[in-house]
Chain A
Amino acid sequence: MVRKSKLFHIIAYTFLSLFAIINIVPLFWMVVNSFKEEQEYSRSPFSLPSHLQFSNYAGAWKVANMNTYFLNSIIITFVSLAVTVLLGSLAAYFLSRFTFKLRGTVYGLFLLGMLVPIHATLIPIFLIMQKVHLLDTRLALILPYTAFHLSLTVFILEGFMRGFPKDLEESGVMDGAGIYRIFWSILLPITRPALATVVILNFIYNWNEYLFALVLITSGSLKTLPLGLSNFAGIETASMTLQMAALTIALIPIIIFYLLLQKQLVSGMTAGAVKG
């Protein structure tokens, strides 16, 4: 019996280690080789770099316009996120704390959005943006990012706010506070845990988005990080180490973000997938 469980232990650890290695090796290989010159890489792709070569990083940062892409991604991600969370929490407040005739319909409508694949809306959105002359502007991305993440945002926040006791608002009403005052100073502060989840989810989805950016943005000065990176790869096919450096630059912030907020990210993205 004991021998059997020991054997099982060994098999389990071997399997898990193999899995971890497969997950890590492509990333590790890329980071290590980003410190080599092109010739050194093609000569010995598996050795550690003979000396740390930062020229790829300087090159990638300049050639790939990394600062422009980072800036665009930061602006677009955070504006969409702020709008989504503000509008979403407001909608969730009314859906969870009030009863009115169309409540069920409105809530159902919001849920529907989680089933809509963005491909089914891509062409009309492109044509609408073209018509209202928003094509190739930051707003062209902020609007769909907001629209498509309102569903999940409302769903999570509504569920959370619904759980509060019924008499929560009473003290506010006694004090003569208005509906929006109650929302801002009573409801919102205690919704903080759910808000954190929603903010993190919106951040990661917006930050990584590619398809809308590909279709709606054309000028280099407005490209987001994923779009810019993919373009850079198309142009700089000759230098793999330069590409690796650019990818490593983009990878590091997201890995740090993940390691810091792992718990919320994992539970949030799991909920997003299961509900979506």
Chain B
Amino acid sequence: MHTLKRTKLAIFLGLFPALLIYLGIAIVPIGLSLYYSLMDWNGIGSMSFVGLDNYLDILKDDIFWLSVKNNLIIMVTGLAGQIPLGLVLALLLNRKMKGSGFFRTIGFMPVVISSVMVSMIWGMVYNTEYGMLNNVLGLFGAESWKQNWLGDSKWSMLSISIAYIWQNCGLYMVIFLAALQNIPDEVNEAAALDGATGLKRTLRITIPMIRGTIMVGVVYSISNSFRVFDLIQIMTGGGPAHQTEVMTIYMYNSAFMNMRYGYGSAVSILILLFSLIVISLLNRLGREKNA
């Protein structure tokens, strides 16, 4: 009995510090965000309860909807770029071939570089006067193709998306590659006996085998797209004239530039809601397809 009590104490002492830091800093603040989102507060004066006014104001703001649109652009281009590209690369690298290790190493490299560095490097690639892209175009005499890649609203979101895909594509490549390598050899052998080869085998057997993993990749890609911040903050700061702003930057600006903490918290809750809605819709879709 005595030892049991001591065990309980030991368990408590072992879990307590981790739980304290974790709950205090990662979980409780979500509740606080919800609470602040109902308040009007500039951080100095007194807090006043405003109910859902923050949410209503946000939903009336055109710039907020512009940022939602940009988030959707990142989401769609991210999905359309990362998933198929990652899948094709994984399928190619899954075969026994010379140099596959090399391609994998190079492919994953952008994933480990900080997004700050990726943004700065791509910012220089896109630089209008001295950037690599315009220099390359000049080299081929395509002067008229030169653009202000990040400053012109016709191109800016596309330019950002390309940098975003460049940064993340390798991650999907290795996720899919790991799944492909888990397909048992018997499956491929059976397919070969049935005369399924090449493209047919890939489409009919290989891809369906890793459908679960592809779905995980899709969900991850979507939830990631709602978290984009560093890349845009550093490349354009959301500008020019809010043209490349996404929801996280809209939140950052309202809270830390305009000192509207309640309003900013409401934005952060909306981001959370949006990503949860999209992901649960997707899960339902996936389940219906399976049924």
Contact = CB atoms under 8 A, between A and B. Distances in A.
Given A16-B92, A266-B108, A148 B26 contact: yes
B286 to A, nearest CB: 15
B159 to A, nearest CB: 13
B74 interface: no
A119 B109 contact: no
Interface of B: 7-8, 10-11, 14-15, 17-19, 21-30, 32-33, 36, 43, 88-89, 92-93, 95, 97, 99, 102-117, 119-125, 127, 130, 132, 135, 139, 166, 170-171, 174-175, 178, 198, 213, 216, 220, 223, 226-227, 229-230, 233-234, 248, 251-252, 255-256, 261, 264-265, 268-269, 271-272, 275
Nearest to A180: B10
Interface residues of A, number: 94
A90 B19 CA distance: 11
B259 to A, nearest CB: 11
Contact of A116 (B21, B26, B109): B26
Given A93-B14, A113-B22, A123-B265, A211 B230 contact: yes
Given A106-B19, A274-B220, A100 B8 contact: yes
Interface string A196-240: 000000001001101100110000000001110110010000001
Closest 8 A-B residue pairs measured CB to CB? A208-B114, A147-B25, A124-B29, A121-B29, A124-B32, A226-B116, A87-B18, A91-B18
Nearest to B28: A124
Interface stretch (A49-57, A161-169, A242-250): A242-250
Interface string A90-129: 1101110010100000100110110011111111111110
Given A91-B14, A211-B229, A215-B256, A147 B21 contact: yes
Interface of A: 4, 8-9, 12-13, 15-16, 19-20, 22-27, 29-30, 41-42, 45-46, 87-88, 90-91, 93-95, 98, 100, 106, 109-110, 112-113, 116-128, 130, 143-144, 146-148, 150-151, 154, 178-180, 183, 204, 207-208, 210-211, 214-215, 225-227, 229-230, 233, 240, 243-244, 247, 250-251, 254-255, 257-259, 262, 265-267, 269-270, 273-274, 276
Contact of B33 (A22, A30, A124): A124
A125 B14 contact: no
B220 A91 contact: no
Contact of B30 (A30, A121, A147): A121
